[in-house]
Each structure stands twice: as structure tokens, then as C-alpha cells.
């Protein structure tokens, strides 16, 4: 079984309007790309902050600027398609009840929990750069992974997105000197306690860091802790569906991962990881 669940129907640009991308024609392009990439299950997970309802959770200026669409309309649209219905929901510490209210109002197949912000600064957005305000990489990394642990413990999410996103800039931002295990540890503990699925994301290969999320050391710690894994590309265009999955499958195999998490109506099951056997095409069985 191969899935791609962390998928956006449009780029992150403000002017990528819902009316232009939440269309049957666009979904057809995504489904065709998924078939080409031999993905068995395709789901979409738009950023929560692009919907007006998100402002009930947080009023960060970046969210205010982005919150132009209606979450119910997104849900209703996706339900007219064969896509699984997901949402990429930022974890905002202290706003757990508001997040729960927002999620409860939707009948989602899965919720992907993300940490992009630590406080009001982002680890992956240069306009809100966490490093500028808080020059010390040790503090940025520590706070990022502590927030990730809180996100897991909140119980609000099915999948923990791009779990070491803090590395996204690679050498373009200072790295802490300590052994990274020091930072991973609290997150791995929370993952083990809660059973949340850990996302293997090939998006990191398209970013300055040029690596899959999570890093091998982090991934192996999760495996040792008995974690379940999900697999996604974080595509924002059809051409990135199933991006570099060969590399992801090879990495997951080397970490000892043999199953992936599959979701429907927020119920999880584990399926064997890998390309599904396809019958002989265009010929009668021998
Ligand atoms: Zn994200
Ligand atoms: Zn995403």
C-alpha cells in the first residue's frame, strides 16, 4: 500500500484562490498523477489558516492575511471527489479547546498536526523568522521539539507532520552543537505515549536541507519506541504527488518500517508498506 495524504490542492501563494483550484478538473489532474505514481490512496490536507474558521483559533497576522476561504465549502467540495478528506492543522499551544471545536465540526478522514510556529515566529517562513528574533539555535531547536511533543500529547491529531521541520533551511540557518538526539528525545517520548503516527515526508528533499523528514536518527528512535508511520509528499502541485517515494521506501526499509498508517473517518489501520501488486496488464493471466 502507498498513500499520499499530505497534499495541497494549490500553492501557498495568497492569490491561489479556492475557486480556481478546488475544481473537478484540478482534482482530475491530482488523481491522474497519483495513478501514474502508483499511489493507492490519495487525500488532501489544506492548511487550516487559509480558512476563515481558523481565526477562531488564532489571530496571528499571517493567518489573518491568509484566512479567505470557507472550511465547510472545502469539505463539501472534497466529499464530491474520490479523495480522502484531511486538514493540515497547526498546533497552537493553549488553544486546544478551540482546535477541538473546529475539528469536531468537520467529518474528516484524518488530521495532520503541524508545528510551523514557535510563539509568533515561524521555523519555515522567512517573513516571521524564528532565528532572527531568537538567534540561539539551541533555543529554537529545543522549543520546536518541545512544542512538537505538546502537539502529540494534545491528542488532537492523527499524524505528526514533517516532524523535524526545524531543519528546513539546512546550512542557511545556524545548527545547534549538541547531539540532535537531545532535542528529539521529548518528542519521541510523546510519540511513544500517544501512538500518533509519524509522517515520513519527502518534501524535505525539495527544500534547502535536501533531506527527508524525519532524519534517520530521529526515525530510528521512533521505530524503537514502537511508532506507526504515515507517508506523504506534501505536494502543492500534481507533479509532486508521490515525489521521491523510491527514496522514501528505501529509507523506511533501512529503518525497519514495514507498515504504513491508513485512515478513514479518523480510524487508523496499518497496511503493508510498498507498491501494491498489480495484475498483468493487457494480457490474459497465464
Ligand atoms: Zn506544513
Ligand atoms: Zn503541508
C-alpha cell at 144: 520546536
Distance between terminal CA atoms of the chain?
A: 25
Residue 146 pLDDT: 98
Going by pLDDT thresholds of 50, 70 and 90, the confidence category of residue 131 is confident
Band of residue 134 on the pLDDT scale cut at 50, 70, 90: low
162 CA to centre of ligand 1 in angstroms: 7
Q: How far is the CA of 279 from the centre of ligand 1 (A)?
A: 36
Q: Answer whether residue 199 shows pLDDT above 90.
A: yes
Q: How far is CA 29 from the centre of its chain?
A: 21
CA-CA distance, 268 to 157, in Å (whole number)? Answer: 12
Q: How confident is the model at residue 283 (pLDDT cuts 50, 70, 90)?
A: very low
CA of 13 to the centre of ligand 1 (A): 14
Cα–Cα distance measured from residue 73 to residue 18, given in angstroms and rounded to the nearest whole number: 10
Res. 280: pLDDT tops 70: no
The average pLDDT across 108-123 equals 97
**Spacing, Cα 176 to ligand 2 middle (Å):** 25
For helices 181-194 and 137-153, what crossing angle results, to 10°? 0
Which ligand approaches the C-alpha of residue 115 most closely? 1
Distance 286 CA to ligand 2 centre (A): 44
Q: Which candidate, 46, 42, 37, 32, places its Cα nearest to that of 3?
A: 42
Q: Separation of 271 CA from ligand 1 center, angstroms?
A: 24
Provide, rounded to the nearest whole percent, the portion of the chain with pLDDT above 90: 92
Check: CB of residue 221 under 8 Å from CB of residue 181: yes
In the reported structure, the alpha carbon of residue 161 is separated from the centroid of ligand 1 by a whole-number distance in angstroms of: 6
DSSP notation for the chain:
--EE-SB-SS-S-TT--HHHHSSHHHHHHHHHHHHHTT-SEEEEEEEGGGBGGGGGT---HHHHHH--B-HHHHHHHHTTSSSEEEEEEE--TT-HHHHHHHHHTS--SEEEEE--EETTEESS-GGGBHHHHS--HHHHHHHHHHHHHHHHHTT--SEE-STTGGGTTGGGS---SS-THHHHHHHHHHHHHH-PEEEEEGGGGGSTT-SPBSPHHHHHHHHHTT--EEEE--BSSGGGTTTTHHHHHHHHHHHT--EEEEEETTEEEEEE-SPPP-PPTTS---
pLDDT more than 70, % of the chain:
96
Cβ contacts of 268 within 8 Å, gap of 6 or more: 158, 197, 228, 261, 262
98-115 average pLDDT score: 97
Confidence of residue 279 (pLDDT cuts 50, 70, 90): very low
Residues 192-217, mean pLDDT to the nearest whole number: 98
**Ligand closest to the CA atom of residue 90:** 1
Confidence band of 84 (pLDDT split at 50, 70, 90) = very high
Res 284 pLDDT > 50: no
Ligand nearest to the CA of 44: 2
Predicted local confidence at residue 278, as pLDDT: 60
- Cα-to-centroid distance, 86 and ligand 2 (Å): 11
Q: What pLDDT does residue 132 have?
A: 76
- Contacts (Cβ under 8 Å, ≥6 apart) of 97: none
Question: Residue 285 pLDDT more than 90?
Answer: no
| pLDDT of 286 higher than 60 | no
Cα angle value 137/143/147 (rounded, 5°): 145
Phi-psi region of 153 (alpha: psi -120 to 50; beta: other; left: phi over 0): alpha
Distance of CA 114 from the midpoint of ligand 1 (Å): 6
Average pLDDT over residues 141-164: 98
Q: 280 CA to middle of ligand 2, Å?
A: 35
Q: What is the pLDDT of residue 282?
A: 42
Amino acid at each position: 500500500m502507498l498513500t499520499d495524504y499530505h497534499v495541497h490542492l494549490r500553492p501557498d501563494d495568497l492569490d491561489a484562490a479556492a475557486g480556481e483550484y478546488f475544481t473537478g478538473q484540478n482534482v482530475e489532474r491530482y488523481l491522474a498523477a497519483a495513478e501514474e505514481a502508483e499511489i493507492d490512496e490519495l487525500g488532501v490536507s489544506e492548511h487550516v489558516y487559509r480558512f476563515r474558521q481558523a481565526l477562531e483559533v488564532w489571530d496571528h497576522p499571517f493567518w489573518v492575511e491568509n484566512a479567505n476561504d470557507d472550511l465547510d465549502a472545502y469539505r463539501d467540495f472534497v466529499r464530491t471527489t474520490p479523495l480522502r478528506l484531511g486538514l493540515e492543522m497547526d498546533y497552537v499551544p493553549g488553544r486546544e479547546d478551540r482546535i477541538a471545536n473546529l475539528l469536531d465540526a468537520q467529518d474528516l478522514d484524518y488530521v495532520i498536526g503541524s508545528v510551523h510556529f514557535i510563539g509568533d515566529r515561524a521555523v519555515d517562513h522567512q517573513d516571521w523568522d524564528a532565528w532572527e528574533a531568537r538567534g540561539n539555535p539551541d533555543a529554537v531547536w529545543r522549543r520546536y521539539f518541545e512544542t512538537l511533543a505538546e502537539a502529540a500529547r494534545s491528542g488532537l491529531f492523527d499524524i505528526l507532520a514533517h516532524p523535524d521541520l526545524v531543519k528546513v533551511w539546512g546550512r542557511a540557518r545556524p545548527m545547534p552543537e549538541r547531539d540532535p538526539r537531545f532535542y528529539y528525545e521529548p518528542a519521541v517520548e510523546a510519540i511513544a505515549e500517544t501512538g500518533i503516527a509519524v509522517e515520513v515526508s519527502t518534501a524535505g528533499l525539495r527544500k534547502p536541507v535536501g533531506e527527508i523528514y524525519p532524519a534517520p536518527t530521529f526515525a530510528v528512535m521512533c521505530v524503537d519506541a514502537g511508532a506507526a508511520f504515515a507517508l506523504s509528499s506534501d505536494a502543492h502541485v500534481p507533479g509532486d504527488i508521490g515525489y521521491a517515494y523510491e527514496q522514501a521506501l528505501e529509507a523506511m526499509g533501512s529503518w525497519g518500517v514495514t507498515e504504513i498508517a491508513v485512515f478513514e473517518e479518523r480510524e487508523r489501520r496499518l497496511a503493508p508498506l510498498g507498491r501494491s501488486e498489480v495484475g498483468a496488464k493487457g494480457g490474459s493471466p497465464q
